[in-house]
Structure 1
Amino acid sequence: MEAPLAKRLAGLSVFIFLLSQVSCDRDLHFCGTWRHGHHPLSLNFDISPGCGQIIIAANESSLAVRGQIAAQCRRSSTHQLIRQALDSDGQSRFCLYWEPLQDQLKLQVGMRNFTLCWPSGMPDSCCTYLSYSSNAPEATYGIADGLIENDIVTRKTLTAYAFDGTAVKCATFCSKQSSGGAQVHVTDQASVEALCALSSEVELKDGFRGMNINPPRVKGIAPESTTPTIHLPPALKQAAKNSSKVVYTFFKNNSMFQEGLKEVRVLDDVVEISVDNQVIQNLTEPIRIGFHHDVIPKTHSRTCVSWDTRKDPMRVKWSVEGCKTQQRGEKHTDCLCDHLTYFTVLVQLEPRPVRHLLALTVITSLGCATSFVSGIALIVFLCRRRRAKDPSTPIHLGLAVSLTFLNVLFFFTGVLANAGGQELCVLIGAGLHYALLSAFSWMGIEVFHTFWLVYVVFRPSPKLYVWNLVGFILPAIPVIILARVDDIYGLREVASSEDEDNPFLMCWMKPNPTALLAHHLTNTTMLALLVSAGLVMLLLVYREIRTRDEWQKNRVAFLSIWGLSCLFGTTWGLAFLDFGPFSDFILFLSCILNSFQGFLLMLRFFMLDWMRKHAVRIKESPAKVCHMPTSPSTISQEPLEPLCPRS
């Protein structure tokens, strides 16, 4: 921000000097009621470049959008719709939005939003002035109550609506209306999208004590309640020494500001504030820009940013430097910034796409299948050892049973979600939640029991029924309570960054605020307690065994740390580290360790049993005699006990 603002923003090649207003046409805003059956529903779309006809059709099982309307977009896909996002009475409201200047096509069905064509920059030709030309027949299933720009077309239920488009140069799309002879100067036709804006100026008079600015209302651009507001502080007058005029512009068509953004999107509005031929920064009082928008859930981050033009004015580079974010509810965000430039709010995509989802799914499926087989083998092995009356064996058996149940449910959750739909997913989601809490409970019991064996001397351990109560009965209580609350368990979509239109379906907790709160109160809280206790116990175990002779043996050290790490559930703590530049690595590592956890536990127990038998053979050898206990050692103590007694 060292050079004058006018020079640094020369790359835009668009200068708007409007004392009143400029209006832009919204080419198509069509809404209707989709009357459908109670069978599985789908969304079909086939969009190709050109300017011909676009058809919105519907029947008992599908809603379709197809035709030639885009300048660059070419997309064809089928998307399965989730009934929880639709109305339950056999009909669903939907709206289709076409914005030719951005080459963007959006569809809202029930509570779901689909972007059929993403903004791709200013096209040369715009498909606009779409006219209704449908003569589709009436039917039981189809589109009823068709609306074009809030004007009713017909109350009848038609099978389709068709619109014919006209190709025009995008440079002539915006009608330039002004009063008092105000002119619009455009030096670069490719940047004409900036014409779809509201621009004006305000004079900073002597004695300026601050000012609140509301953009003028323009029919067809935005309701008054959704346009941004600006507060200019008194400090701006002192900083703008060489000028008394502040120019502000409200942009609605923001495709040129979307460049290079993948996991976040620019809010609908972008605001520019500038002073002629001056760079204003480091204000003692910040400028406040209030953005009013649609509901943004708390689970999706929003950040105030400004356009950093210091390195390359030709490229859009958003920066958080110099701006603070204040969230005032789900529909209002205030940005407090100490400089002048372009401002907006970056919003995390909903839902957040998962990178490498296919690879993670393959790893998880393979790991769960391996852990399930390993869990069955471990259960058989531990059942045979119960004859030795080892007090640790029932605890290990409880953990093996809970992990095996968790792995088999997680392995089949995708299949059941696609086959059974919403109704079955309520049951499977609750079962999966119970299995997870039960596994965490048994890992916590392992931590407590190991501490009891190592540090509590000559005290009997709690009875077996107490462990079963904590491991199997208590986890069912919160699940039963949550199952009685609507909208907690059900079908869940996991979007992939490679293919957002074909998400992975699973049965789990739904992506809504109520289910999110339940997730944090049960899973996150319990996991935090488990990982904390497990790490502390690992440290205590390390202090106990580090001086022993067998610690020098690599295999014993490995089994002691990695085996107990899985036993105590500390590998689940990687879930708290999924951020920053190593997030992909952490995600894959967590996926591998936790999905193969059953296999690693089986390996630990089998190796320890082999080591015990090997020690018995050494004892019976005449070369070296070691005193071994008459009954097998407790498995949880085996990494702590020497193969031969210390001298």
Structure 2
Amino acid sequence: MKRMKSQGSNNGSRTKVTAPLEEMLENRNHDNPIKVIQTLARLLEETEVNETTSLSFSNLVAYLYKPKGPFKGLKIDASENEARSMRSGTDSVMDTKVSIQLPRELDAGSENTIVFCMFTWPEANWSKHEASDELYESRLVGLSVRGKNISGLQERVNITLAFTVNEMQKPSCVYLNEVTNDFSTDGCLTLWEPGQSNITCSCDHLTYFAVLMVSAPLSQTDLQILTYITQIEKVRADISMKVHINLAIALILLNVHFLPSQTVAAQYSKELCFYIAVSLHYSLLATFSWMALEGLHLYLLLVRVFNIYIRKYLLKLSVVGWGLPAVIVALVVIFDQSSYGRVPLDTTYTNSTQICYIRDTKVKMVTTVGVFGLVFLLNVIMLGVTVRRIVSLHKFKKYGQSDSNRAKKDICMLLGVTTLLGITWGLVFFSFGYLTMTGLYLFCILNSLQGFFMFLWFLMSLRKKGALSTKSSVTSITNT
């Protein structure tokens, strides 16, 4: 391994590698640190090296790794004065400040020099970027691969820093967003719990990283209480998924009984048609019930938040979601079995296609249209509450993702909530008058794809659940 130092060096040490860096560090502008960091990144990435090289200055440690053969990942350790990789066959550096684990997914070749640097700059003026003097130890860690723009990694880059913090602060992993010239958390997870002697920033891209200290005036008792709240939020997230699954089951039952309804109606078996009609009515009511319970659950998450402990919560939801439709259908069967049977899709034509469903118009209006109208009204209100909560959360999000990324995630979330609450079913109210054909087409297309939309929502939820680690209770509430 080749190692160079700038301080106390002879003229031979001022090589083409070190001279531009020394000049840049000596003439750096304290009032524009973002530009200095960008210049540093460019100089290091453009530096030509024939072998793995380590550089050390007064406040900068850099390591330029030259891959040889297939890239299988890389671990780099660095102290205040030196940096080296574990692939070199040497022991870890003394007084390690930062440890980097780079994934195999980088796929760096012999022309793709991997650049690591650790830069300490206590004199920098970050006031224009809201971070001021809140960067932990005024330290930034830079990572890049020459000739590649690394982002969207499936195997995350893990940056572990030696770390101590008092009870009045909490850390947040951030990176330097060169588009907004600000610090952002997008794509980075903060893996840390109170009492740990290190913190890990797990990110899906390469750039300049830092740990931002945020004031958190919490006592030890408060921290313990918030830990319990975080655990409750995890349980609540599991319950949310189970509520979604029950709605999915109701939709499956609805489709299973709706699809053969026309075929059964064409047969001569009254008993089978009666069964299909009753089952179709029950499945439809169960779907409406679970849509309403999705709205109730969303209300508890967004509005009540803390004081929502309900004993055997999921069991009680299931009794309502599956039991109430059974009671309604049973009453109809007891008082008038003839309400179920063959029904023409279009009553204006005698030879219209028939299905097995509710024959009595009054029963149909009260037990389906009436019930759904009530569910739709409540869930539209809950959708409005959700939009309002998203807007209010943005006002308090100081160091967040870029506006475009945040907007995409908000839109996806609102589309998911719209699907779960069954808002698209409201198109049935627009299937009359001049909007008859348009309303019917939209109603059929969107509601036929509701199960598919929910499947996508499940995938997003499972991916998010697998990626996130334990965070503060406020973060957990926001994510839920």
Structure 2 length as normaliser, TM-score?
0.45
Larger radius of gyration: 1
Which structure has the highest strand share of the two? 1
Structure 1 length as normaliser, TM-score?
0.34
